[in-house]
Structure formats: C-alpha cells, structure tokens
Amino acid sequence: MQSQVQEKFSEYYERWISLQEANIYQLLSVSRDSENEQEHKSLVSKVLNLHKEYYTMKWAGAHNDVLGFFSPTWLTPLENAHIWITGWKPSIVYKLINSLRRAQLIPGSSLANLSEEQLKKIEKLKLKTRLEEEKLDREVERQQVSVADRKIVELARLSGHVREHLERSVEANRLVDIAVNTLLAGLEKVMKTADCVRLKTMKEVLEVLTPLQCVDFMAASLMIQIQLRNWGKKRDCRKI
C-alpha cells in the first residue's frame, strides 16, 4: 500500500517521464550542425533543469517519508534492482560514455570522437566519483548497522517489558520515536548526499563535453532510463 507521499510522487514521476520522452525526441531531431550550438545548449539545459526539479520534488517528499524513496513504488522491480541509494549510481555515467564511444546507440554519435584532453578530464572525474561513492557506501553501512547500537537494543528490550505499565510505556514509546526519527534523519541525509553526487557528476561531465556531445549523451542516458522502465513494465505484464 502506498503512503500519501508515494502516491503523490508516483503521479509526479509519470509526468516527469513523459516530459523526458518528449525531450528525447527533441534531442534526437535537433540539427547537428555546429551553427546550432546555442540550440544544443538550450536543449541540454532544459533536460538538466528537469533533473534539478526532480530532486527538489524528491527531497520535499522525503522530508515527510524518506522510507518511501528507499522502496519506490513508482518504479518497476527491474528498475528497483538497479538503483543505488534511491537512484542511479553516478559511475554509470562513465560506463555510458565508454559504451557510446564504441557502440552506435545514437547513430553518428559525436561521443565517438572524444579528444585526448577530454578523456583525461573524464578519467579524473571518474576517480573522484568513485571515491565519493565509496564514502557513501561506508555511510550506508554505518546507517544499516546502527539499528544494533546499544541504545536501540536497550529500547527494544525496554519496550517489551513495559506494556503493563502505562506511564513507563508512554515514556518508552517517546524514546523509541526519538531513536527512529534519528535513524530516518540519517537515511535522509545519505539520500540527499547521493543525489548531490549524481547531479554534480552529470554537470561536471557535461562541462567536459562539447554542446553536441552533451546532446548525444543526454539522449542516450534518457533512452536507457526509459527503455529499462519499458522492459520492466513488459515483464510485469507477463507475470499477470
């Protein structure tokens, strides 16, 4: 059963995906002439702003129900199997660039012609992103094992022995609420930090690419996201 936050965000996400599908068409159909550089920049900025809006909406919802974003009901099981701390793993950006250099997901992709200087910059960003991911992985582990902290264990034991004493039960419940809220606040902080790394990684990579390369990169990343969703929906339909 969806919470109110999940239900509201599910509706928003469907609209967001529809807008991104329209953006894919624009990214793929825009003139590839270098004289259209300003149009390329405008399109990429439009897509990036939609990503920023997504995180703004996500953070607003997570403030009231952060757990809803760790088990997103608006995603298919296939999509959920590929998320990392409530979203895509930042390092996938570099895997995508590497694939686009060799494959033809976007016919005539400009990413097949990255310069040596661009490759060096991307490699530096890749290392930086990996370190940030490792730091977040350690923080997630810390959050997960925190449920076994001495205070939590004592509260769990206390809650099991005070049901017959109303006053002590009320106090125990108050302490439990404080402890749980502390855990949730920690998860919210980790989620926001991961989102910041996601957005920062995307922006830093776009700064390395030319306007046309940015167009091709954005088109490919959106195509993969939407196709994964479509595959997940088809698989779910077969199970019915």
Structural domain that includes position 121: 4-239
C-alpha–C-alpha distance, residues 19 and 47, integer Å: 9
* pLDDT (tens digit per residue) in 84-97: 999 999 999 999 99
pTM: 0.88
* pLDDT (tens digit per residue) in 131-160: 999 999 999 998 887 766 666 666 666 555
Report the domain count for the chain: 1
DSSP state of 87: B
C-alpha–C-alpha distance, residues 49 and 226, integer Å: 18
